[in-house]
Amino acid sequence: MSSDSSRKIQVPDELKEVLLQFSISFLVEQPPDVIDYAVDYFTKLQSERPSGGHTDISTDDQLSVNSQDADAEPPMVASSRRKSVFAEAYDPEADDDDDGATAVFPKTDEQRARLVESVKNVLLFRSLEKEQMNQVLDAMFERKVQPGDYIIRQGDDGDNFYVIESGVYKVYINDKHINTYNHTGLFGELALLYNMPRAATVQAETNGLLWAMDRQTFRRILLKSAFRKRKMYEELLNSVPMLKALQNYERMNLADALVSKSYDNGERIIKQGDAADGMYFIEEGTVSVRMDQDDTEVEISQLGKGQYFGELALVTHRPRAASVYATGGVVKLAFLDVVCFERLMGKCSGGIERSISGYRYLEQDLREYFGHLQLN
Ligand code: 1OR
Ligand code: 1OR
């Protein structure tokens, strides 16, 4: 009837926004069941809603809804004693594996220069004080290897930890090739860090040069700081859906690379238009993402614990797309610099691309769609 068709019901903006964000999440994630997904999505949204009643949704937000059923992690190693290094109950603080002596291997200037160059990118050494770093350099000794040499055999007790100066090294678990080092990196840290048998076999493919450090020195200087740091970031990194593509072992390397940063309420963390130096994972608190629009800043998203931001500019190599502020108290973040991002995040590019297409296309298309939405 003509009188009915002229009566238009306006859809409230808040409803449009909620449906828009839910739809973005649904389309990005593509879960098998829309109802199950909606229940999870809105339950999580409700539980995370700040007391002021602001709706806290973002493209990334939905990605964490299904984090429990994301791909199961492949077992860390074949040994049943070490299902997951992160889950290990071992406590180095209670372990007294220290005989008091630190080895010193004298080096020529040329040797020391090569060693300094080799350890430059060793993430495990990042949190060392200058004095500790000098002890590390003193304690390392050179080892030449030839093609076919076994440096480490799976199941053995751990003796040394190695930093690679040159050479190609293949890693095997139960005779299956699982990793290759090409002239850079380190290995042999796991058995020393967790007081466990060697998780894998490492064999030289070419001639090579290694810098080794004995177990005692490793444990005295590096153990507690490295162990604490990995433990500290364990929960955070396990809760970030984008990092599900990484194996436990790779997530631990990521933990080594992170640097903690705190911001006070209202402080700006990222400024729209700036060049990017890294990305952030949220350990505690919430942040507000805001975009410049007609001389004012408009909030486009709020992000909370376990979510991340600042990845976009690193991937697109463009300036920051938005500004990000600390909200609702002190915010604790874990910062990953651009160099480590490029080294460690290759495998996560699927997750990053999904969030980028989420930002770019879904938002645009759906805004148009929901913008026109009216019930007749
Ligand atoms: P380690 O002391 O146990 C073997 O001795 C070394 O191989 C180990 O320390 C690591 O430094 C190195 N999983 C376990 N150990 C690995 C891995 C690895 N890659 C290198 N090592 N994975 C490969 C991840 C790309 C996980 C396989 C499931
Ligand atoms: P960045 O390095 O560009 C700002 O620095 C960060 O804000 C950005 O990375 C993202 O991590 C984060 N559009 C662009 N950036 C966003 C958005 C977003 N949300 C969070 N960030 N949109 C919101 C999508 C729900 C699109 C708005 C049109």
Distance of CA 73 to CAs 12, 61, 81, 257, 343, Å? Answer: 43, 22, 16, 21, 21
The residues, any chain, with a CB within 8 Å of residue 339's CB and separated by 6 or more, are none
Q: Cα separation of 150 and 170, whole Å? A: 10
Return the pLDDT at 46. Answer: 82
Taking the centre of ligand 2 as the mean of its atom positions, its distance from the CA of residue 35, in whole angstroms, is 27
Work out which ligand 2 atom sits closest to the CA atom of 24: 25
Work out which ligand 1 atom sits closest to the CA atom of 201: 4
Cβ of 188 below 6 Å from ligand 1? yes
Cβ of 198 below 6 Å from ligand 1? yes
Return the pLDDT at 186. Answer: 94
Say which amino acid occupies 309. Answer: F
Q: Which ligand is nearest to the CA of 287?
A: 2
Taking the centre of ligand 2 as the mean of its atom positions, its distance from the CA of residue 133, in whole angstroms, is 38
From the centroid of its chain, how far is CA 202? 25
Query: Phi first, then psi: what are they for 158, rounded to 5°?
Result: -80, 125
Transcribe 257-290 into DSSP letters.
H-EEEEE-TT-EEE-TTSPP-EEEEEEEEEEEEE
Cβ of 24 below 6 Å from ligand 1? no
Cβ of 362 below 6 Å from ligand 2? no
Q: Cα separation of 30 and 338, whole Å? A: 30
Which pair of tokens denotes residue 176? 């299956």
The residues, any chain, with a CB within 8 Å of residue 162's CB and separated by 6 or more, are 143, 151, 186, 187, 188, 202, 210, 211, 212, 213
Chunked in runs of 10, what are the mean pLDDT values of the chain (376 residues)?
54 76 67 85 78 39 30 33 43 58 87 93 84 92 97 95 97 93 93 89 98 91 82 84 79 88 96 95 94 88 90 86 93 92 74 62 60 54
Taking the centre of ligand 1 as the mean of its atom positions, its distance from the CA of residue 171, in whole angstroms, is 7
Q: Is residue 290 a contact partner of residue 245, using CB atoms and an 8 Å limit? A: no
The residues, any chain, with a CB within 8 Å of residue 260's CB and separated by 6 or more, are 283, 332, 333, 334, 335
Mutating to test ligand 2, I would choose from 309, 311, 357, 360 the residue with most ligand atoms within 8 A of its C-beta, which is 309
Q: Cα separation of 34 and 57, whole Å? A: 18
Cβ of 84 below 6 Å from ligand 1? no
Quote the crossing angle between the two packed helices 13-29 and 349-357, to the nearest 10°.
Answer: 150
Cβ of 313 below 6 Å from ligand 1? no
Return the pLDDT at 360. Answer: 58
Taking the centre of ligand 1 as the mean of its atom positions, its distance from the CA of residue 201, in whole angstroms, is 8
Sheet holding 168-173, edge to edge: 150-152, 201-204, 168-173, 176-182
Taking the centre of ligand 2 as the mean of its atom positions, its distance from the CA of residue 248, in whole angstroms, is 28
Work out which ligand 1 atom sits closest to the CA atom of 199: 3
- Collapsing DSSP states into helix, strand and coil, what is residue 16? helix
Q: Which ligand is nearest to the CA of 187?
A: 1
Cβ of 185 below 6 Å from ligand 1? no
Work out which ligand 2 atom sits closest to the CA atom of 360: 26
Cβ of 222 below 6 Å from ligand 2? no
Q: Which ligand is nearest to the CA of 81?
A: 1
Taking the centre of ligand 2 as the mean of its atom positions, its distance from the CA of residue 229, in whole angstroms, is 28
